[in-house]
Amino acid sequence: MKIGGIIDISTKDIPHRSSMVIFTVGCNFKCDYCHNKYLLQPDVGRQYEINELINQIKTNELVSGVSITGGEPTLQNDLLELCIEIQKIGKYLSIDTNGSNPDVIKKIAPYINRVALDLKGPLEPKKFEKITGIKVDLAKIKDTIAFINTKKDIDFEIRTTYVERLLTSDDVSEIINFLESVGFKGNFVLQQYQFLEGVGEEFKKIFSKPEHDLLVNLLKPYKDVKLPFKVFLRDEIVGYCNINEI
């Protein structure tokens, strides 16, 4: 597996759990605001054997979970093998994905505990292309969502990064309405875009950080509203918080 970096202990990647974070190399999307652009270069990182990764996870007794992120982890040929081996050693396993590869998600589903799906925007071709820099087969993203939604034993988070130049309040409504229409049962998280060095200096002036009040106002209409899923805000003020508690 091609890995661009490993964080031994993180408390941010899986809510309420310490985890080891594995960053896979390569992604099929080209989002301008990507925090991990270095992972999009084919020549970064190095190839790891599954045994080497498993030994590293086994000896890390401070974490109860493993988060595989990227890049796009579903592009790795040996992801299934890694998931099977992680399940054997009893760690809670979370996979980050952009949702574009439902076939791989279906194969690894018996071995994973959580999916965090990065939903870039409303499922509208032009909007999606503007955000991701490529034409995306939206039916595949819908398929991933529909499939994971049937899996009661998989914790499911769908999150959208709010970038002011790319999304509007109508887009947030559209996303939430879509999730309601498909009976999504997990947690929906609206997360604050923040500039990190990995985005690249040239984008510093293009994308600004949306303020806390703006994000709260976007989610206010869903406070105390009965939905099949919970709505969370993730930002620098509240951390990770249910909208009903803000």
User: Among 53, 70, 61, 54, which Cα is nearest to 104's?
Assistant: 70
Q: Does 118 bind ligand SF4 (CB under 6 A)?
A: yes
Quick one: DSSP state of residue 103? H
At 163, list the tokens.
């970038």
Q: Does 36 bind ligand SF4 (CB under 6 A)?
A: yes
> What's the closest the beta carbon of residue 98 comes to ligand SF4, in angstroms?
4
- The C-alpha angle with vertex 18 and arms to 96 and 9, in degrees rounded to 5, equals 85
Asked if 209 and 193 count as a contact pair (C-beta separation under 8 A), the reply is yes
Total residues at interface with ligand SF4 (CB under 6 A): 11
> What's the closest the beta carbon of residue 57 comes to ligand SF4, in angstroms?
22
Q: Does 163 bind ligand SF4 (CB under 6 A)?
A: no
In the Cβ-directed half-sphere of 188, how many Cα atoms lie within 13 Å? 30
Q: Does 58 bind ligand SF4 (CB under 6 A)?
A: no
> What's the closest the beta carbon of residue 129 comes to ligand SF4, in angstroms?
13
Q: Does 98 bind ligand SF4 (CB under 6 A)?
A: yes
Among 23, 29, 92, 188, binds ligand SF4 (CB under 6 A): 29
Q: Name the residue type at position 241.
A: C
- Other Cβ atoms within 10 Å of 55 Cβ, number: 12
- Binding residues (CB under 6 A) for ligand SF4: these are 27, 29-31, 34, 36, 70-72, 98, 118
